[in-house]
């Protein structure tokens, strides 16, 4: 029975070339095994590799291989790896790592995965402690950061667990709050006084009879002569 498997994306020659190659090489190894091509002759596996790397990477390979013919897969992979992994610049790798902080709105798992990859090229002897510090000081979660700093010297796995839990909790709280009705607007709407009906007319004290009524027609003194002034 044929097994369906994902085909590796082409090798990207822009950005972090070393990291791009690492990901492509891993995906290619998995693809060979999952598709059953790992048992095929190297000649076929080389053809599959060169078909998958993309046009730009193929042109690069044609340039770096020169006039030699590589009949073994390991030789072709070595040529490509050598091109994608020039001499390391440790200072530059550390600069990139130190510049990386959690972005606003970025989930912790994304930040953690990225800094783990970046620190791998830094050649720190105390990588776990430096990674721990980066996660704490680079976090955007101020409450979790403050709590960890107060602990003084938490272990890396404790920091990861704490920041991951804080991230999940924040997402859950946001989901809950986003579904709650606006209580203030509801109360305001209910307690707003009713508008006065437009048909109700203002009443004043009548200068004819001294009483209050809605119109002159309702005045009891209308069309009558005043007993005092005879008007």
Residue 165 or residue 121, greater confidence: 165
pLDDT digits 0-9 by tens, 181-210 = 665 555 555 556 666 655 555 556 666 666
Question: What is the per-residue pLDDT for 166?
Answer: 93
Give the CA distances from residue 30 to residues 37, 54, 111, in Å, rounded to whole numbers and listed in that order.
10, 18, 25
Question: What is the per-residue pLDDT for 115?
Answer: 95
Q: How confident is the model at residue 134 (pLDDT cuts 50, 70, 90)?
A: very high
Asked whether the predicted pLDDT for residue 88 surpasses 90, the reply is no
When pLDDT is averaged across residues 171-188 and rounded to a whole number, the result is: 72
Question: What is the per-residue pLDDT for 176?
Answer: 87
Question: What is the per-residue pLDDT for 1?
Answer: 43
pLDDT digits 0-9 by tens, 1-59 = 456 788 999 999 988 888 899 899 999 999 999 999 999 999 999 999 999 999 999 99
């Amino acid at each position: 029975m044929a097994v369906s498997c994902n085909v590796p994306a082409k090798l990207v020659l822009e950005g972090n070339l070393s990291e791009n190659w690492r990901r492509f090489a891993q995906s290619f190894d998995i693809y060979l095994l999952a598709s059953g091509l790992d048992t095929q002759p190297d000649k076929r596996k080389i053809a599959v590799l060169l078909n998958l790397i993309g046009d730009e990477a193929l042109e690069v390979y044609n340039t770096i291989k020169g006039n030699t013919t590589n009949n073994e897969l390991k030789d072709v992979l070595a040529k490509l790896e050598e091109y994608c992994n020039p001499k390391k610049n440790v200072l530059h790798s550390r600069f990139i790592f130190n510049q990386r902080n959690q972005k606003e709105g970025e989930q912790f798992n994304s930040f953690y995965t990225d800094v783990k990859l970046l620190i791998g090229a830094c050649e720190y002897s105390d990588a776990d402690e430096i990674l721990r510090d980066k996660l704490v000081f680079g976090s955007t979660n101020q409450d979790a950061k403050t709590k960890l700093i107060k602990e003084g010297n938490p272990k890396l796995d404790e920091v990861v667990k704490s920041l991951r839990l804080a991230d999940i909790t924040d997402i859950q709280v946001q989901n809950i709050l986003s579904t709650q009705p606006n209580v203030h607007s509801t109360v305001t709407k209910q307690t707003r006084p009713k508008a006065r009906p437009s048909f109700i007319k203002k009443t004043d004290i009548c200068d004819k009879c001294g009483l209050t009524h809605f119109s002159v027609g309702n005045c009891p003194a209308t069309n009558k002569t005043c007993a005092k002034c005879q008007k």
